[in-house]
Amino acid sequence: MTRLWNDPADFADEMIDGFVAANARYVRRVPGGVVRATPARAGRVVVVVGGGSGHYPAFGGLVGPGLADGAAMGNLFASPSTQQIHAVARAAHRGGGVFFSYGNYAGDVLNFDAAQERLRAEGIDCDTVAVTDDVASATPDESHRRRGIAGDLTVFRSAAAAAAAGYDLAGVARVARRANDRTRSFGVAFSGCTLPGAPEPLFSVPAGRMAIGLGIHGEPGIGETEVPTADGLAELLVSTLLAERPAEADGRVVPILNGLGSLKHEEMFVVYRRVAQLLADAGLEVIDPHVGEYCTSFAMAGTSLTLFWLDDELAELWETPVDTPAYRRGAVAPDDSSTPSDPAPTAATDDAHTAIVAGDADSRSLAVLVAAAVDAVAATVDAHVDELGRMDAVAGDGDHGIGMQRGSHAAQAAAHAARSAGAGAATTLAHAADAWSDRAGGTSGALWGVILSAIAGALGDHGRPDASAVANGVAAATRGVMAYGKAELGDKTMVDALVPFSSELSNAVATGAPLAEAWRSAAAAATTAAAATAGLLPRMGRARTHGQHSVGTPDPGAHSLALIATAVGVVLADSERTSS
């Protein structure tokens, strides 16, 4: 379990601050994560990696000469936000373009893609490879849907070596794709992990049993078996991965036996002894074996084996020396640049809505109501944070409550600051949207940013919109979420509650119902629809891999949306009564 923290909501930020303080030789703090303390030479491609915190040495521990130029570091087990990724990439950029790589999770894909598009709009060339090494998370014919686990290291290192060798952006991306195509991983666990402040682990394994095919965010495995001997575990790991040996592999392989947090090195060495024997028996040439912790999951007791199949180009690049806080290989020559990078601001400066647009009297009055609604949202999330975490842990990673709490409280502070500065309703809610998506990160952070931004666009900063304008804003939010997240009705996501909410709101308003009455009816429809997701199998996101575990439990994103819609309905009703 995790024993030491202050406020769990501040854990990731305080961890990053401590990591930077302990590793100032290698990294410096920038909004959203870290970059190299001494930058790469001007004009070359930079490699920016990232993901949720809680996996050290991934991702900040892999920043340094020979490996990453920057790492966007999100909340615990949650993707960094678009703003964080954009800020890290801008700080790392040296004029040759930005190459992104990260594990293939829905929130990471959403936010890294959005940051990439923003950078391209600013004239910065970008490319991306999402790592898909986990053989347990999808079949070979759907390998593009697989998760990224400890195989992140092989892709990151190959891409970084190509960048250091002077490859252009297209060349770096080509090498990374080839490395990803030739990397396979498979893992097991003997116990789950506990997030800071959480009362219990994300999942548990009965004594004497072992979970097979788990995810690094605590997602349950695809099955259980009796705990084997060390040799038996080695045989399971090796046989599973050799069954997926790439057709073009020539027999050179880098094995990485990765500890997930609390498995002792001595135990892993016993396992690796048999792994090495089995690889030799298969006629393989073992290159540069790794045994240690490369991608962890807090204190999860477990291990994974990665096999990285080399070719001539990858083998040469693999010899590139690396020197980072947590990972070193070979002797690194003097750095690309002898000039330390300029100090960076410690606060986020990547906000697209930094300007306060003053509202007229009507809109400033409405901004007070907007802030009150955001207050109600934050209070509702606080009241249900543990419930949301438990629901998410059934087939996901258990961070939905924490992420929603961080996002809603950031939105609350931003809304009140904007309102106090004289902002109109649209600007007040737009500031809340940016703060929510930036602070929460992950899929839900990105999608709630889309929802609030779309509704803000319907409010305006002058006058008071009528009920139909608000309904149109919610409809635009629904379209935005479906376009951004690619989910549809029946996928067991927040869309299953959002679509009925928007439809009922528009229908009620069209019949002449006042906004508060129409909203109350729509919230009831969302609540019913969210409860009905309990019977669905998930077709999107992390829960897709372990869909059977979630049957009987509502989707946490749909459930939280229904809770929030209900709470905002109470604020609207109270406001209507007060004004009448």
Contact 99, 172 (CB under 8 A): yes
Rounded CA separation 174/165 (Å): 14
- DSSP per-residue codes, 541-564: SGGGGGHHHHTTS--HHHHHHHHH
State both tokens at 376: 């109600």
State both tokens at 308: 């990285």
Rounded CA separation 113/105 (Å): 12
Among residues 350, 431, 407, the alpha carbon closest in space to that of 118 is found at: 350
Rounded CA separation 53/72 (Å): 9
Residues 6+ apart with CB under 8 A from 399: 52, 75, 76, 77, 78, 195, 217, 389, 392, 442
Radius of gyration of the chain (CA): 24
Contact 85, 32 (CB under 8 A): yes
Which one from 55, 217, 384, 431 is the annotated catalytic residue?
Answer: 217
Residues 6+ apart with CB under 8 A from 249: 182, 309
Q: Is 217 a catalytic residue?
A: yes
Contact 527, 552 (CB under 8 A): no
Rounded CA separation 29/18 (Å): 10
**How many other C-beta atoms lie within 10 A of the C-beta of residue 514?**
15
Strand partners of residue 46: 98
Rounded CA separation 210/189 (Å): 6
Catalytically active residues are: 217
